[in-house]
Amino acid sequence: MGAVTWREALGGPWASHWVVWAALYPPTTLVVLLRESVTPYPHWWWPLLSATLQHLAVGVIITVGAAIFRRRHPILPLAVIGIVWGLAAVARGLIGGGIAQSVAGVDPEFAFRISAWLLASTLWVPVFVYTLAQFDQRRLLLGAQDATQAGLADARDHAGESADHIQHRLRESVRQTLEPVLADLQGSLARSRDSLSRERIDTLGAQLTAVHDEVVAVVESAGGGHRAAAGGELRASTRRAFDVTPQRPIVTSLMVTFATIALVVPDAWRVFGALAGAEVSVATTLAGLILASVPHLALRAGWTVSIFPGQRVTIVAIVLSVSAMTWIMLTSEIDPITWHGLLISPLIAVALILASTVFSLAAVLARSNGEASDALAAAIAELDAARATHDALEERERTRLSILLHGPIQGRLAACVMALNFYTAASDDGRDDDGHAAGVIDAVVRHLADVSVDLASLAELGHNPTRATPEEG
């Protein structure tokens, strides 16, 4: 898992994601409300309806448009994304103008509406899409880092395990699995060997086959389980992904100021005149200066600063900048009509908060994700190496155990299985000699007793690895 490139971020699934679409609903609605504040609609809710219809049309265009092009390009070319979002902006202008004309009987001003939406889309949508793609990638990277660190801790625990410990664990596993089954079989055979029916021998043969297969299976599976569950995408919490230190706050706040002015000034100018436009520019510039200064000074003072909107320094910066902007809008007298400021201020405040969060993240996340991706790759390499070392050791011990099991245990069990199966098959074919059953059963019981002794001895050797194994004499 690596960092996301510009092209992957802008052309990937986030280009047409519903979260982007939903996140843009509040600011675009405020823009429409400001734009239609002087349109003589018969009811107050017409601007709201117009904003909602425009936004629904945008949702349909980006969803359908992206789906059509994505059939051929999993990552959409930037030109395609530009065309889709451009069409959405044109649709907004046409719908907004059309409703204003048909309901309020005013000039639809299509050129202004379409141009304003194209400008706003160009400045806001790419940053939104890019930031959300990087943000999601950061959550995935942090989740993968957590899983890898947990795996590393597990691997480090196992790294201290010696060959003797592994051998002991494997032998204990074999003993614990087989001992009760063997005891049961021995008891069953010993109790009823003089009156064993053909069906009973058949059943015992099947049980013994299961025991034999178990020996093979236990050796294969014993001692595993240290691998953390792989696969499945884990995402870190949103709060944690937000927790990054802002970089270059002055450059970021310049972009925030410019994007906010581009979003608000055209409508403020058109609706309330040049003075209102100038007032918005001054208020937004002052707010931008505060947004830049507070984190910049806090960072220089060595304080902890995070982009998370709930972090102390960020809260102070946002509150101060919005307050300063509101103070200018209401009291500066650049535009002498105060209610203009009252109408415009909420849109500027929302735009400033959104832009400061999104633009700050956009400036930081690419580098953070690159660093997180490198750290993750290093941790995965360390984990793979630790697991490979342990797996090699365990495989060696498993092979050693399987050799030990081969003759004294697995071989004898195979002999017992064959004895019972051959005997029952011969009975079916009428080849049975009277009284042969007891001889076969006696031999099988003896073999099983020997297997039990060897099994106990094998487990005992696991506790005392320096002693010789049964096979080693």
Partner 1 sequence: MADPEPIDAVVLVADDDDLVRSVLGMALRSLGLTVVEAADARQVAEVARNAPLDLAVLDINMPGGTVHDTLGSLREEQPALRVLVLSGDLSPPADLHTVANDFAHKPIELPDFLSRVTRLLRQSQHE
Q: Least Å distance between CB 429 and partner 1?
A: 5
Q: Least Å distance between CB 423 and partner 1?
A: 7
Decide: residue 231, CB within 10 A, 0-12 exposed, 13-18 middle, 19+ buried: exposed
| The residue count for the chain | 473
Contact between 6 and partner 1 per CB under 8 A: no
Q: Which of 101, 188, 203, 421 binds partner 1 (CB under 8 A)?
A: 421
Listed ranges 63-71, 107-115, 181-189, 426-434: which one lies at the site for partner 1 (CB under 8 A): 426-434
| b/e sequence 188-213, b meaning 16+ C-beta within 10 Å | bbeeebeebeeeebbebbebbbebbe
Q: Least Å distance between CB 170 and partner 1?
A: 18
Q: Which of 447, 451, 454, 469 binds partner 1 (CB under 8 A)?
A: 447
Cβ nearer to partner 1, comparing 374 with 428? 428
Cβ nearer to partner 1, comparing 362 with 448? 448
Please name the amino acid found at residue 37: S
Q: Least Å distance between CB 402 and partner 1?
A: 9
Cβ nearer to partner 1, comparing 349 with 416? 416
Contact between 187 and partner 1 per CB under 8 A: no
Contact between 414 and partner 1 per CB under 8 A: yes
Q: Least Å distance between CB 389 and partner 1?
A: 27
How many Å apart are CA 228 and CA 152, to the nearest integer? 9
Cβ nearer to partner 1, comparing 116 with 451? 451
Cβ nearer to partner 1, comparing 333 with 428? 428
Q: Which of 75, 299, 418, 449 binds partner 1 (CB under 8 A)?
A: 418
Contact between 188 and partner 1 per CB under 8 A: no
CA 17 to chain centre: 17
Contact between 419 and partner 1 per CB under 8 A: yes
Listed ranges 48-56, 90-98, 234-242, 441-449: which one lies at the site for partner 1 (CB under 8 A): 441-449
How many Å apart are CA 94 and CA 88, to the nearest integer? 10
CA distances in angstroms from 230 to 142, 144, 226, 381, listed in the order given: 15, 10, 11, 15
How many Å apart are CA 12 and CA 81, to the nearest integer? 10
Q: Which of 411, 457, 465, 470 binds partner 1 (CB under 8 A)?
A: 411
Q: Tokens 């596993």, residue? A: 173
Cβ nearer to partner 1, comparing 208 with 459? 208
Contact between 428 and partner 1 per CB under 8 A: yes
Cβ nearer to partner 1, comparing 364 with 445? 445
Q: Among residue numbers 189 through 218, which ones bind partner 1 (CB under 8 A)?
A: 209, 212, 216
Cβ nearer to partner 1, comparing 429 with 472? 429
Listed ranges 232-240, 284-292, 329-337, 427-435: which one lies at the site for partner 1 (CB under 8 A): 427-435
Q: Which of 423, 441, 451, 462 binds partner 1 (CB under 8 A)?
A: 423
Q: Which of 379, 386, 426, 449 binds partner 1 (CB under 8 A)?
A: 426
Total chain residues near partner 1 (CB under 8 A): 27
Cβ nearer to partner 1, comparing 312 with 446? 446
Binding flags for partner 1, 380-409, as an x/- string (CB under 8 A): --------------------------xx--
Cβ nearer to partner 1, comparing 155 with 437? 437
Binding flags for partner 1, 87-116, as an x/- string (CB under 8 A): ------------------------------
Contact between 434 and partner 1 per CB under 8 A: no
Chain residues in the site for partner 1 (CB under 8 A): 209, 212, 216, 406-407, 410-412, 414-419, 421-423, 425-426, 428-429, 431, 436, 440, 443-444, 447
